[in-house]
Amino acid sequence: MFERILITGCCGFIGSNLIRTLASKMISYEIVVLDSEVTGKASSLDGVPHHFIRGDIRDYRTVEDAMSGVDAVIHLAADTRVMDSIKNPTYNFDVNVIGTVNVLEAMRKHGIKRLVNASTGGAIVGDALQAVHESMPANPASPYGASKAAAEAYCSAYSKSYEMDITSLRFSNVYGPRSAHKGSVIATFIKSILSDEQCHVYGDGSQTRDYIFVQDLCFGIFQALKSEKKGTFQLGSGKPTSVNQIIQILKGVTGRNETLEVAYSDFRVGEVLHNFADITKAKRDLGFQPQTSLTTGIRETWDYFQKNSKVLLSNKEYGVSSYAG
Ligand SMILES: NC(=O)c1ccc[n+]([C@@H]2O[C@H](COP(=O)([O-])OP(=O)(O)OC[C@H]3O[C@@H](n4cnc5c(N)ncnc54)[C@H](O)[C@@H]3O)[C@@H](O)[C@H]2O)c1
């Protein structure tokens, strides 16, 4: 397969899980990490062999230097928070669109053909009562969704104009260990429970998402990397789950059936109400097959947070923030 793989944004939630999945699946290869540490931290990769470059994908020269000797790229670095993108759309554009074009352009200069680009299903397609599939038109409700749609469009353009092998993977809502810095639903609720605070739900809790356990997702990224298939693929569980159902599972997993408190407030602007993925194409073309039930995945996530709560607290990575939904 590949000998030297660059992973941008590898210090984050998905990257720090992915590098461990790759270590368990591949024998002889080198990983180069390019990350500004704006949200992820280099310490999240402790114990896994890699070459670390601290740098920003908004800086073209940095990206080009990081590509030296590389034969494939997994591009994860991004400004990932939907609500933050509404507050600061130009920063989101700079990181997610200009940063992605920098990655593509540096690959072109170095003659690197293979890119796996992290994209999103929910934020690009927006509200959908039917399962979302790859050929649905983009209808983003936030600058984050728009930036990911633009990044996908540039990936398609570079793929066709310069004969590059580019795959964009549209992740659904990912949850799992190593997500303490995230503002996503499950991580936020677990942080609230461990801090003895109420779980805060925006809306009535009927909004649905497609939740995929991070290890299942990382397996899908590995399958995509080694596949010769190009184009766009949805990676999710294929099932809608409401926020209220998540609360019920958390009550059972944490043993707080009676004591877990939930506060409801208004829906927020830019928030998608219903979205889940049709994963038929990824199953057929990439052999993608999520294995982990929601209850098992949430239990594993809860165990990780509980075991690491002291360290996370002392690192100040543990604050309760509003979730991206
Ligand atoms: N987590 C999810 O539920 C989810 C869903 C859909 C798509 N995605 C996509 O997956 C990718 C990884 O997301 P994540 O959840 O691991 O997020 P994360 O915030 O944990 O990780 C992102 C990483 O990128 C780095 N980064 C951010 N801006 C950078 C910059 N300008 N230069 C260099 N590095 C920079 C951060 O330091 C961090 O380590 C992103 O592209 C995100 O849009 C995630």
**Percent of the chain predicted with pLDDT > 70:** 95
pLDDT confidence of residue 122: 83
Q: What is the DSSP letter of 94?
A: I
Q: Is 144 a catalytic residue?
A: yes
Non-local (6+) Cβ contacts of 35 within 8 A are 8, 9, 10, 11, 12, 15, 42, 52, 53, 54, 55, 77
Domain extent listing, the chain:
4-174+212-235, 177-210+239-278+292-314
Find the 204 Cα to ligand 1 centroid distance in Å: 28
**Which ranges of the chain does DSSP label H, i.e. alpha helix?**
13-25, 60-66, 82-87, 89-93, 99-110, 122-125, 143-161, 185-194, 214-226, 243-254, 280-286, 294-314
Q: Kindly report, residue by residue over 170-226, the tens digit of the pLDDT.
A: 999 999 999 999 999 999 999 999 999 999 999 999 999 999 999 999 999 999 999
Find the 256 Cα to ligand 1 centroid distance in Å: 32
Catalytic residue (choose from 29, 60, 91, 144): 144
Task: Answer yes or no: same fold for 4-174+212-235 and 177-210+239-278+292-314.
Answer: no
pLDDT confidence of residue 315: 60
Mutate which of 21, 80, 85, 100 for ligand 1 pocket (most atoms within 8 A of beta carbon): 80
pLDDT higher than threshold 90 for residue 57: yes
Find the 14 Cα to ligand 1 centroid distance in Å: 7
What CATH number was assigned to the domain covering residues 177-210+239-278+292-314?
A: 3.90.25.10
List, as one string, the DSSP characters of 123-138.
Answer: HHH---SSPB-TTSPP
Ligand 1 atom at minimal distance to the Cα of residue 40 = 39
Question: Is residue 127 within 8 Å of residue 275, measured between CB atoms?
Answer: yes
Question: Is residue 317 within 8 Å of residue 311, measured between CB atoms?
Answer: no
pLDDT confidence of residue 313: 58
Domain 4-174+212-235, CATH number (from 3.40.640.10, 3.20.20.10, 3.40.50.720, 3.20.20.100)? 3.40.50.720
Q: Kindly report, residue by residue over 78-136, the tens digit of the pLDDT.
A: 999 988 999 999 999 999 999 999 999 999 999 999 999 999 988 888 888 889 999 99
pLDDT confidence of residue 1: 82
Sign, CA torsion 63/45/113/118 = negative
Average pLDDT of 37-62?
97
Task: Please report which confidence band the pLDDT of residue 268 belongs to, taking 50, 70 and 90 as the band edges.
Answer: confident
